[in-house]
Amino acid sequence: MSVEVETVVIGAGVVGLAVAAERASLGHDVLVVERHPAFGTETSSRNSEVIHAGIYYPEGSLRAKLCVEGKKRLYAFAEEHKVPFDRCGKLLVATNEAEVDELARIEGRAIRNGVGDLTRLTMAEANRLEPEIRCVAATLSPSTGIIDSHSLMAAFETRLLDAGGQVAFNSEVVGIVPVSKGEFRLSISSAGETSDLTCARVVNAAGLGASRIGCMLRPAKSEYVAPKLYPAKGHYFALSARAPFKHLVYPMPSPDALGIHLTLDMSGAAKFGPDIHWQDDIDYAFIDPNARHAVFAKEIKRYWPGLPEGALVPAYTGIRPKIYAAGTPPADFAIHGENEHGVPGFVGLYGIESPGLTASLAIADCVARLLD
Ligand SMILES: Cc1cc2nc3c(=O)[nH]c(=O)nc-3n(C[C@H](O)[C@H](O)[C@H](O)COP(=O)(O)OP(=O)(O)OC[C@H]3O[C@@H](n4cnc5c(N)ncnc54)[C@H](O)[C@@H]3O)c2cc1C
């Protein structure tokens, strides 16, 4: 049996590129297949660019474990490869007494997840760090930071190419057939033509397209069904004025989103979001900016009463690739290998929403273990 490429990674988002770069750097022959003309044009460029500490996710979950591991690996990678980042820290703010109890619950979960550096702040201590913030108490997370996600993906791509890997842009995977043990035939559509490519291993890192690809593969375990996608859009507003903050500021989370928070980018510009809007399809349109503006202003003023009038400008949206329906318990990252579907050499990544950017290098390690 001879295959044309050893490993094909479907999707050039931050996760697919991290998986491909790590695998190529270990000496494997890797091709990334991406349907768009450039990397990172979907979820990986429509997020908050926060390096999360790992404080929110249920104890023992993949999201908790891979976030904490991924954060350490990401800071080290960014340092080594000169990717712009800032370990600016974040304040999680309680705006009333009931939220102080929630702060305590989150702090307890953080410790169980291995995040031992949180500090509880009084109102006065929080105001010494951020004079414009209104809260009754806050928790400081010093290991939270921000990163330039485009530069990060460019660094992963460079690492991949330097190790002899390749990226095929404008190429959409439209079919997968496991031919024999250790051989897959992929159908790839490019410039109106469909051609076949054989490979020994496949990583499905297609983000919002992952469920569709998962369904193309006939599982060896007849009861296996690839997780279904439930897209959940988040809107962002940019702050047109100068931001008077040095830290990220987060309100209390809800079960399926982290709340309308303030994040900064590497140039110091501030944005707020994302909210959550469940939908049936993948549509990035900014829905009803006026009504949404009123909701954002109200939420933000709970912790920043000084938000200037007219300073919020509709910015962009991102879509979370959730694998659970609205109103049902949140799902963990689903990283499915042979144990789940019975097909050796195929790993599917489903539901890689936040903190997928933070966890990208830890996910790459996890995929490597499943492939080998
Ligand atoms: C609103 C929002 C805010 C977030 N904030 C943060 C944050 O602050 N910190 C954090 O750590 N995480 C955050 N995340 C999560 C993070 O952005 C994602 O986990 C991460 O970007 C997922 O990367 P990916 O490579 O899996 O997917 P994607 O970036 O979606 O990449 C998948 C790629 O696969 C390609 N593709 C799909 N189907 C095919 C096909 N058939 N053939 C070829 N190519 C295909 C797509 O074109 C795409 O380029 C956020 C997510 C959202 C939506």
Task: Please give the number of the atom of ligand 1 that sits closest to the Cα of 39.
Answer: 49
Nearest CA to ligand 1 atom 38: 209
Answer yes or no: is the C-beta of 15 below 6 A from any ligand 1 atom.
yes
Q: What is the mean pLDDT of residues 10-22?
A: 98
CA dist 368 and 188 (Å) reads 24
**Coil, helix or strand for 210?**
helix
**What would the pLDDT profile of 32-50 be if each residue is shown by its tens digit?**
999 999 999 999 999 999 9
Token pair belonging to 129: 């760090």
**What would the pLDDT profile of 82-97 be if each residue is shown by its tens digit?**
999 999 999 999 999 9
- In angstroms, what is the span from residue 259 Cα to ligand 1's centroid? 20
**Coil, helix or strand for 193?**
strand
pLDDT over 80 at 195, yes or no: yes
Nearest CA to ligand 1 atom 33: 11
pLDDT over 60 at 1, yes or no: no
Q: Which domains does the chain have, with CATH numbers?
A: 5-48+150-227+331-371 (3.50.50.60), 89-143+229-322 (3.30.9.10)
Answer yes or no: is the C-beta of 35 below 6 A from any ligand 1 atom.
yes
Distance of CA 301 to the CA centre of its chain: 27
SS (H, E, C) 109-147: HHHHCCCCCCEEEEHHHHHHHCCCCCCCEEEEECCCEEE
Answer yes or no: is the C-beta of 260 below 6 A from any ligand 1 atom.
no
Task: Find the angle CA(265)-CA(266)-CA(267) to the nearest 5 degrees.
Answer: 90
CA dist 349 and 15 (Å) reads 9
What pLDDT score was predicted for residue 222? 92
Token pair belonging to 35: 């349907």
Q: pTM of the entire structure?
A: 0.97
Q: What is the mean pLDDT of residues 163-185?
A: 96
**Residue-wise burial string across 232-247, b where 16 or more C-beta atoms lie within 10 A, e elsewhere:** bbbbbbbbeeebebeb
Nearest CA to ligand 1 atom 4: 47
- Residue 197 bridge partners (DSSP): 186
Answer yes or no: is the C-beta of 211 below 6 A from any ligand 1 atom.
no
Of 169, 187, 155, 174, the residue nearest 360 (C-alpha):
155
**What would the pLDDT profile of 109-145 be if each residue is shown by its tens digit?**
999 999 999 999 999 999 999 999 999 999 999 999 9
pLDDT over 90 at 175, yes or no: yes
- In angstroms, what is the span from residue 42 Cα to ligand 1's centroid? 6
pLDDT above 90 as % of the chain: 95
Nearest CA to ligand 1 atom 19: 356
DSSP letters for 291-324: HHHHHHHHHHHHH-TTPPTT-EEEEEEEEEEESS
Answer yes or no: is the C-beta of 213 below 6 A from any ligand 1 atom.
yes
pLDDT above 70 as % of the chain: 100
Give, for 50, the enclosing helix (H) or strand (E).
strand 50-51
CA dist 372 and 366 (Å) reads 10
Nearest CA to ligand 1 atom 53: 320
Spatial neighbors of 369 by CB under 8 A, at least 6 apart, are none
Token pair belonging to 303: 């912790």
